[in-house]
Chains A and B, each alone.
Chain A
Amino acid sequence: MRAMAVAALALVFAAVLTLTVGVREGGFALLWQALTAFDPTDPAHIAIHSIRMPRLIAGLIAGAALGMAGTIMQAITRNPLADPGILGINAGAAFAVVIGSLIAGRADNGLMAALAFPGAAAAAVAVFALGGGLKGDAGPVRLTLAGVALSAMLLSFVSAIILARNEALEVFRFWVTGSLAQAGMRPLGYMAVAAVFGSALAIAIAPRIEALSLGSALARGLGTNPGRIQFGALVAVTALTGAAVGVAGPVAFLGLLVPRLARRVGGHVLRRELIASAILGAAILLFADTIGRLVTPPAEIRVGTMTALIGAPMFIWMARRLRAGAGA
């Protein structure tokens, strides 16, 4: 319980940093003023409301959603390397959005929202099929390889399309490496609804996922239906990942980092782990975003790059550990 409180405090701190860092001088006092006594003629107040607030909301949605999605995926696949980025689900959503908006010739929020979810779902199903998940339990290595391959393929398609269309570069770069910049342009409302739906579903079926993680025979003995749990988990992961990609683009590795930390906070009780994942995911994403804005001013490093900088070495370390351990 104390760990959960510490995590929540870290999130509040990260949120305050997101709102205040880089907003000229004034810091916290200015933030307080902008929140309690908004002055529409003060450019600093306007910056906080129209730029920082959407950025914060996008970070909260994407971070919480990716953290929870990673935790569900790791529980259901019994694979510590499962992550929406690594398993290609982010890439599926991004790919569907880019292709779809090219075909439609427009890139409005409603369209993006409508495309991100089927893209995420299709990629999730494809990876499980390729990784042998349909025939029984997919081994962690096979599943991970299938995901990395699919992810690389889809993102390189997206890059190829973008590079061929000069005018679209700025707009579409977002779909290759996630970013919280210009969050005000994203469909925050739709995606918040999807993220809340995905979280509620995940929390509802969490005890059944726990049963399933003991193996499908024992899970059935405990009165659950493995096929139905897997389907529910797929819907939850799709809603969460689609929401995250919709507001922040594909952000890799967050779903890999967060579940390990969340387990320390929540223990082996999946509902607590999910809540901890949401808090920690949002906090880490916001911290990473703030650091990305500080290191090379006035330019900023995209948050998708920041999470990869932290996450990639972690991934290598975990993959090595996996091989050294029991393997399964």
Chain B
Amino acid sequence: MTSANNALKAENLTIGYGERTVIDNLSLDFPAGRMTAILGPNGCGKSTLLRALARLITPEKGTVTLGSDNIFSMDTRALARRLAILPQASKAPEGITVADLVRRGRTPWRGLFSAWSEADAAAVERALKEVGLTDMSERPIDQLSGGQRQRAWIALVLAQDTPCLLLDEPTTWLDLTHQIEVLSLVRERNRNQGVTVVTVLHDLNLAARFYDRLVLLGPNGMVAAGSPQDVLTEENLMTGFGLSAMVLPDPITGTPMVVPR
């Protein structure tokens, strides 16, 4: 599954809202089967970039390719079978159960009149198992804890069963334990199935621990892209965040750890 067909590539992307240009002529590779985190200060265009990668917004210039296909000329449903996105802070209909929410991830696989299939049921079951909510599948979402709720949303995009998975700040509002839980299960899907993952994240140290590649955006465009060691340097943190920090090896994983001064 780790074929180059699942690599995302942004080419000369320029995206703006009205007069303001948020992303200016950005070219970036998101290699197939790897986990890439997009980092940067608020307002630097992280979410904008992610939304363009999922075709939720159309860039002024440039394009995005998935494998050899330009995503802006692909059929909507064909794209949804290859690429899933979980936007920020989605809201569930009142009273919906975990299973009913997760089932909606199968939308791109269902025809206008086709019934629920074995494959649909299997994908939902597997997604629930991966996020550890099998036993709670019949519970209403609003009765779950914040961490469980976020896992249910992730199960929805896992049930979509795409080789490419985009997540917009999936750990916001969660406590540290649940942040780790969420990122672990995303990495498990990545390791087991070679899924390409792109995530907008705030926490630099968690990004360094869980992700293969980091992209650091600053107020004036991209600062660095590459392995955590290459991206999380004191100089880059100053350019990107205006943050004076020390970078030490994480005592447990050896990945870079940012300690603000």
Measured CB to CB, the residues of A under 8 A from B are: 75, 78, 80, 204-205, 207-208, 210-211, 213-215, 217-218, 220-225, 263, 267-269, 328
Contacts and interface: CB of A to CB of B under 8 A. Distances in A.
A263 B95 contact: yes
A204 B113 contact: yes
A285 to B, nearest CB: 25
Interface of B: 51, 54-56, 76-81, 83-87, 90-97, 100-101, 103-105, 107-108, 110, 112-113, 157, 160
Main secondary structure of the interface of B (DSSP, over half): mixed
B85 A221 contact: yes
B110 A221 contact: no
Nearest to A228: B76
A276 to B, nearest CB: 15
Contact of B87 (A75, A215, A263): A215
Contacts of B104: 207, 210-211, 214, 222
B54 A221 contact: yes
B93 A221 contact: no
Contact of B86 (A218, A263, A268): A218
Contacts of A222: 80, 84, 104-105, 107-108, 160
B93 A211 contact: no
Nearest to B110: A207
B100 A223 contact: no
Contacts of A210: 104, 107
Nearest to B83: A221
Given A207-B107, A267-B100, A217 B76 contact: no
A38 B87 CA distance: 63
A319 to B, nearest CB: 15
A223 B79 contact: yes
Contacts of B160: 222
Nearest to B97: A268
A217 B87 CA distance: 7
B223 to A, nearest CB: 27
A242 to B, nearest CB: 23
B46 to A, nearest CB: 15
Nearest to A217: B87
Given A204-B113, A217-B90, A222-B160, 4 more contacts: A214-B93, A220-B55, A222-B80, A328-B91
A134 to B, nearest CB: 19
Contacts, number: 76
A208 B103 CA distance: 12
Nearest to B84: A221
Contacts of B83: 221
Contacts of A208: 107
Contacts of A205: 112
B105 A80 contact: no
Given A210-B107, A211-B104, A269-B100, A223 B87 contact: no
A224 B85 CA distance: 13
Contacts of B55: 220
A78 B93 contact: yes
A211 B81 CA distance: 15
A221 B51 CA distance: 10
A204 B97 contact: no
A38 B52 CA distance: 69
12 contacts: A207-B110, A213-B93, A217-B85, A217-B87, A221-B54, A222-B80, A222-B104, A222-B107, A223-B76, A223-B79, A267-B100, A268-B95
Contacts of A204: 112-113
B91 A223 contact: no
Contacts of A221: 54, 56, 80, 83-87, 157
Given A211-B107, A222-B107, A222-B108, A217 B80 contact: no
Given A221-B84, A268-B100, A215 B90 contact: yes
B93 A218 contact: no
**What are the 3 tightest A-B residue pairs by CB atom distance, in nearest-first order?**
A223-B80, A223-B108, A223-B77
Contacts of A218: 85-87, 90
B119 to A, nearest CB: 15
Contacts of B103: 269
A267 B97 contact: yes
Nearest to A328: B91
A171 B123 CA distance: 58
B108 A220 contact: no
B82 to A, nearest CB: 10
A208 B110 CA distance: 10
A268 B113 CA distance: 19
B232 to A, nearest CB: 30
A204 B110 CA distance: 11
Which of B76, B92, B104, B105 has the most C-beta atoms of chain A within 10 angstroms of its own C-beta? B104
